[in-house]
Amino acid sequence: MRKSWGVDKVSSWSNLKRVLIYARYRTELYKTTVTTTLLVLFAVVIILVTKSFSQSPSKCQSLTKNPTEICSNFEPPEINNDHKQEELKYDIQITSKNSLSNKFQTGHSSRQGTPLKDWLEKAETIYQRSVQKRHHHVQSIGGLSKVNPWPENGDGVVYFWDFFVPSFTCPYMIERVGAIGDGGKWVCGLEIFEGSRPQVEKCVIYSFGVANESSFEAEILGRTSCEIHAFDFSVDNLGHQIKDEQIERGKIHFNKIGLNDKDKNETFLTLGTLMRQRRHDWIDILKIDIEGSEFPCLQQVMEEFSESLPFGQLLIELHVDNFGRGFKSMYKWWEKLEARGLRAFMNEVNHHSCVGLKINPVAVEYSFINVKTDHRLIAESSS
């Protein structure tokens, strides 16, 4: 009996083991089948969606109602014929010019029909709001003596040039004239002076500090009938960008003279003296890049021309020291410019100090409009 019972017991355990193994096998098989089925269904859905998108018009096509509009992802077909390529390029240029002509012919597309007086009043309101923010910040930290113009990195820091925001708005087109990088300047309303526009008055430009880079002056000569007087005591001639025929036409005159805050030896003269020598009482665009001497020179200009500044637009590169020691003087000098009606509308950092010298951005280009003297940029008759 014991032997029979033992054999039956072993047999039962063997059967149970086989049953458990089979059950486990069936479970794994079920999981595999379900997973495979889900993957197949997912693949089918992807195929159907892809096919649907390929048959429907693209977003670019559906949004572009006008055939002259160009989608951002448009890729033109390859054309092997060079002559056809030139024709295609020419057609695009003509179409673009015609489509924009209605905006450019008035000379103030940025205003969109807003009367110049109203535009200037709104621009001044925005500018004064920026000035109030500057004053509030200085007061909140305890005055100018508490300002650290080059603070360490951190949240909420205000750096040197953040105090001098170009928050005024030019009522005309703004564009960068001259070469990319050092040499180019931001100008407001150059279209007013362009040769295609009838000139009621002559246009006069003074440019101080040309060195060997005269791309700004060259582009002005090529696009306008302005008369340019260039000054630089450190070089003997204009840069190579100025062609001999441009000099022969008498529209640009070079003078080996430096701008100064007082007359000295006929080589360093004040702006007033230079204007009197040339019988000028007005300068449309005054460009200054004289490596730090701009501060005393413009201070002298403000003192000599106490009633109104004799220029409509000022394009200037400001130079400060790497440690911010002149910040307080710069702050007060800047507010004197504002009090005399100069409104900054654009600036641009000269990256040479940061990249080449590995110091703070100590040179920044600024462009100003004079809003306290009547001239073509702010006169309603020019719009």
Full domain range(s) for residue 89: 81-113
3-state secondary structure of 58: coil
240 and 106 within one domain: no
User: What Cα–Cα distance (Å) separates residue 135 from each residue in 98, 149, 155, 327, 368?
Assistant: 47, 15, 20, 15, 20
Q: How many domains does the chain have?
A: 3
Reported confidence tier of residue 326, pLDDT bands at 50, 70, 90: confident
362 and 317 within one domain: yes
- Condensed to tens digits (0 to 9), the pLDDT of residues 70-124 reads 333 333 334 344 443 333 333 334 334 333 333 333 334 456 678 999 999 999 9
120 and 24 within one domain: no
Mean pLDDT for 215-240 is 89
94 and 147 within one domain: no
Check residue 361 and give its pLDDT: 85
> Is the overall model pTM greater than 0.85, yes or no?
no
The angle subtended at Cα 165 by Cα 163 and Cα 170, nearest 5°, is 160
DSSP conformation letters of 4-50: HHHHHHHHHHHHHHHHHHHHHHHHHHHHHHHHHHHHHHHHHHHHHHH
195 and 301 within one domain: yes
- Condensed to tens digits (0 to 9), the pLDDT of residues 269-283 reads 999 999 999 999 999
Domain end, chosen from 113, 134, 163, is at 113
- Condensed to tens digits (0 to 9), the pLDDT of residues 253-265 reads 999 999 999 999 8
Which of 86-90, 250-254, 298-302 is the most confident on average?
298-302
